[in-house]
Chain A
Amino acid sequence: MEIPDVAASKEAEASIDLLAIVLDTNPSQQIVRQNPQNLTQILEAVIAFGNAHLMQKAQNKLAVLSCSHYTTEFLFPLPGRHVELRQIDGQYEAFSLVEKTVKQQLGSILMNAPRLSAPCESLLAGSMSMALCYISRLQRNVPAGVKMHSRILVLTGSNECASQYMTYMNVFFTAQKLGIVVDTCALDKTLSLLQQGCDITNGQFLKVNQLDGLLQYLLWVFLPSPQMRHKLVLPPTPKVDYRASCFCHRELIDIGYVCSVCLSVFCKYSPICTTCHTIFKTPGPLPVKPKKKKKTDKQI
């Protein structure tokens, strides 16, 4: 009975868990605008959560990225910067290093930020792609025989923006291909795109109802590794709607027409594709009425 246990524990020792946290630090988030103190609280929770992850196993790795309104920067680790390390209050040096670097770096990002005149979107998809670059570099350099399980946790209170749709999809498919789990912790609103991403990569989506208990949510839901999660009772995943919306009216449709050249989706038959201007061969049973043609011309 004990032999498989030993084998399992050896395997666990030989594997590295990498957690990349993408933290939305955009000041135009609703929760930050209501109460700027919230950002401090979120930051404290993230640092504690990151340290909890490092504490689980000596081989575990952590990366923290900040996605603010003007730039995406790594908060931890920072190659090349030497922070003096001394034990404070008996805390393990690695933990105080995380706290110190993250706070210092975020401070300098916020100090250098240009003034914000109007609320603007956070480029979360881009930040996630940067996290993927970092993860893929570490995965390339893993010594033979060692397995690396990576995941990305996104913490955000922003709205999502349709303009990033393509980048989001590219990020999700890349993550799926590399076996990286995408988890999302929505602090304010339900985000349907990130929800799709979690579903594609077998990650966990969670909308936090009470910001006060953020650390508890994080520790309960996101700290266990994805391999362990199926043994736990976690919040059920809501059903994700994968229906397409047509390019002409932006309505969710059940049956649509897809252009064979550019794959645009339309809800009605039209003789010319409005995206790539391809002229279609008219199928037999569908006579084209001139009225419809007018309609599509307007949309061009």
Chain B
Amino acid sequence: MADDEQDDQKEYRWETGYEKTWEAIKEDDDGLLDGAIAEIIQKAKRKRQADKTKQNRLGMMRHMFIVLDCSESMSVPDLKPTRLLCTLKLLEIFIEEFFDQNPISQLGIIALKAKRAEKITELTGTSRVHLKALAGLANVSLTSEPSLQNGLDLALKTLKVVPSHASREIVIIMGSLTTCDPVDINLTIDELKRERIRCSVISLSAEIHICRYLTQQTMGTFGAVLDDAHYRDQLLSQVDPPPAAKTQDNSLIRMGFPHSKNEVEGKDAPLSMCMCHIENIDEPSELSTTGHHCPQCNSKYCELPVECQCCGLTLVSAPHLARSYHHLFPVPNFEEMPYESVPPAAPDCGSLRKCYGCIKVLSPVTDKSVFKCGYCKQFFCIDCDIFVHETLHACVGCNTIPGVAGLVYQKQGGKAASKAAGNMQQQQQQHQQQQAQMQLPSTSKQRSQFNM
């Protein structure tokens, strides 16, 4: 958080020195710009990668409200076709990505219409509900001003009752430069601060003092968008779970792991209805034999994860939990090396330099820099570097070469986490255990603990 505050102190772009941006682009010997442009793109990709903060304690169970401005200012066509339509399109991507990366989290949407706040969707864990609601927002009439305070109050009312071990967040998308509030907004900000709800603001027009103040007080982030690509980046940066608040309560959460009853005593399961659609008039519940049964009260659901409507138990499946592990054990950043450092292949293979992951033949023009994993010492092209860190979350080299102990850094992640807990004795014990495990990976207890 200290870094953030330093960032906030930095001067505005128009206050900095004069930049000669065109000087970064240089022609190569043939008078072509390809190499230079590829380099700039590479740098931008790498920068985004390096900016990702490494945290061991994250708020994994997130409850987030998106507060969306639906006032007159959202009809401005500076983002194409209009601010609102552009936002809705990006939110669709965001919601898909959010539930993909945070499977046991919940999301809700609030719209600020004509000085009122309206809850479009309740906090739920299924993306379908939100996507449907978003489609309905496209034709909403954009009039009058928004009220930031009403929106915050509405979100606060719902988030107050969320259990304290979850991380609670509000993301505000503001198009308007003004807000029309019933009373002093500072009271709401103080309350949000007290409740430790993290508020982030993405402004589509310009930096607004009250929004900046709100994000500073609640440890959130503030961003004003430059264009739609920058907007997308800003929005998608909210997908990664934030560091857990130091004051956040930790607890063990009771969860159910349903198993589908396909056969009961050799017979097919009886036809039954699912609880999730039972009160839904548009899509009525269908009689079927498949489904996930709550182990506590035996009510049936057709999709996971879900909170049981009868007994309140959170129902998940093991892969849902596994999907979140990569946030806790990220692949360490690769080291940037010059092209010449890649060892060429044997002469019978043409002495080519290849990327270890995708066997692309590296060329000295477009692959000026290559990337080396510090653990397995293999070289990767820029695209594989980005792919490994952003999508795959596992180093190809470390996982294909035995003896590298592919999960070394994951163990280190665990070690660092234990450091955070500040239990030195246990840590030493664990350290010794790990050393023993490294010699005997097949019998390692630590490695097999993810067996589900």
Beyond A133-B357, A171-B394, is A278–B421 a contact (Cβ under 8 Å)?
yes
Q: Shortest CB–CB separation between residue B304 and chain A, in angstroms?
A: 8
Residue on B nearest A79 in the bound complex, by CB: B361
A270 near B252 (CB under 8 angstroms)? yes
Beyond A244-B321, A283-B251, is A81–B449 a contact (Cβ under 8 Å)?
no
Beyond A166-B450, A167-B394, is A280–B251 a contact (Cβ under 8 Å)?
yes
| Interface residue? B178 (CB, 8 A) | no
A132 to B319, CA, bound (A): 19
Which of A71, A129, A196, A260 is the one whose CB lies under 8 Å from B396? A129
| 100-153 of chain B: CB within 8 A of chain A | 100
B252 near A266 (CB under 8 angstroms)? yes
Residue on A nearest B167 in the bound complex, by CB: A260
Residues from chain B with a CB closer than 8 A to the CB of A239 are: 260, 262
Residue on A nearest B103 in the bound complex, by CB: A173
A242 near B259 (CB under 8 angstroms)? yes
Q: Shortest CB–CB separation between residue A246 and chain B, in angstroms?
A: 9
Output the residue of A167, A243, A264 with the most chain B CB within 10 A. Answer: A167
A250 to B143, CA, bound (A): 58
Residues from chain B with a CB closer than 8 A to the CB of A82 are: 350
| 229-278 of chain B: CB within 8 A of chain A | 244, 249-260, 262
| Interface residue? A262 (CB, 8 A) | yes
| Interface residue? B333 (CB, 8 A) | no
| 347-389 of chain B: CB within 8 A of chain A | 348-350, 352, 354, 357-361, 383-384, 387-388
Which of B58, B313, B401 is the one whose CB lies under 8 Å from A71? B401
| Interface residue? B32 (CB, 8 A) | no
Residues from chain B with a CB closer than 8 A to the CB of A188 are: none
A174 to B394, CA, bound (A): 10
| Interface residue? A146 (CB, 8 A) | no
Residues from chain A with a CB closer than 8 A to the CB of B400 are: 67, 71-72, 123, 126-127, 129-130
Which of A78, A162, A245, A259 is the one whose CB lies under 8 Å from B447? A162
Residue on A nearest B421 in the bound complex, by CB: A277
B252 near A258 (CB under 8 angstroms)? yes
B406 near A245 (CB under 8 angstroms)? no
Residues from chain B with a CB closer than 8 A to the CB of A243 are: 257, 259, 317-318, 452
Q: Shortest CB–CB separation between residue B415 and chain A, in angstroms?
A: 10
| Interface residue? A275 (CB, 8 A) | yes
Residue on A nearest B399 in the bound complex, by CB: A126
Looking at B40-48, B63-71, B323-331, B335-343, the stretch in contact with chain A turns out to be: B323-331
| 146-195 of chain A: CB within 8 A of chain B | 161-167, 169-174, 177-178
Q: Shortest CB–CB separation between residue A134 and chain B, in angstroms?
A: 5
Q: Shortest CB–CB separation between residue B219 and chain A, in angstroms?
A: 18
Contact bitstring A235-274, B, C-beta under 8 A = 1, else 0: 0000101111101001001111111111111100110010
| Interface residue? A58 (CB, 8 A) | no
A255 to B449, CA, bound (A): 18
| Interface residue? B295 (CB, 8 A) | yes
| Interface residue? A276 (CB, 8 A) | yes
B392 near A163 (CB under 8 angstroms)? no
A280 to B58, CA, bound (A): 15
Beyond A133-B392, A255-B256, is A163–B324 a contact (Cβ under 8 Å)?
no
| Interface residue? B60 (CB, 8 A) | yes
B319 near A254 (CB under 8 angstroms)? no
| Interface residue? A74 (CB, 8 A) | yes
Which of A170, A264, A273, A277 is the one whose CB lies under 8 Å from B394? A170
Residue on A nearest B353 in the bound complex, by CB: A80
Q: Shortest CB–CB separation between residue B243 and chain A, in angstroms?
A: 11
B257 near A126 (CB under 8 angstroms)? no
Which of B260, B350, B399 is the one whose CB lies under 8 Å from A129? B399
A257 near B252 (CB under 8 angstroms)? yes
| Interface residue? B16 (CB, 8 A) | no
Residue on B nearest A246 in the bound complex, by CB: B452
| Interface residue? B448 (CB, 8 A) | yes
A269 to B252, CA, bound (A): 7
Which of A120, A164, A254 is the one whose CB lies under 8 Å from B399? A164
| Interface residue? B35 (CB, 8 A) | no
A254 near B259 (CB under 8 angstroms)? yes
Residues from chain A with a CB closer than 8 A to the CB of B318 are: 242-245, 265
| 61-82 of chain A: CB within 8 A of chain B | 67, 69-72, 74, 78-82
| Interface residue? A121 (CB, 8 A) | yes
| Interface residue? A230 (CB, 8 A) | no
| Interface residue? B391 (CB, 8 A) | yes
Residue on A nearest B361 in the bound complex, by CB: A79
Which of B165, B348, B387, B393 is the one whose CB lies under 8 Å from A136? B387
B251 near A163 (CB under 8 angstroms)? no
Beyond A80-B361, A263-B324, A276-B414, is A300–B259 a contact (Cβ under 8 Å)?
no
Contact bitstring B439-452, A, C-beta under 8 A = 1, else 0: 00110100111111
A178 to B323, CA, bound (A): 15
Q: Shortest CB–CB separation between residue A252 and chain B, in angstroms?
A: 8
Residues from chain B with a CB closer than 8 A to the CB of A278 are: 250, 421
Residues from chain B with a CB closer than 8 A to the CB of A126 are: 394, 396, 398-401, 406
A278 to B423, CA, bound (A): 9
8 shortest interchain CB distances as A-B pairs:
A126-B399, A80-B350, A126-B400, A133-B357, A162-B451, A254-B295, A277-B421, A242-B317
Residues of A within 8 A of B (CB): 67, 69-72, 74, 78-82, 120-121, 123, 125-127, 129-130, 132-134, 136-137, 140, 161-167, 169-174, 177-178, 196, 200, 239, 241-245, 247, 250, 253-266, 269-270, 273, 275-281, 283, 300
Question: Could you jot down 24 A-B contacts, CB within 8 Å?
Answer: A70-B402, A79-B359, A123-B401, A123-B402, A123-B406, A126-B398, A130-B396, A132-B392, A161-B442, A165-B450, A166-B326, A166-B329, A177-B100, A239-B262, A242-B317, A243-B257, A243-B259, A253-B257, A255-B256, A258-B255, A258-B321, A260-B61, A273-B250, A283-B251
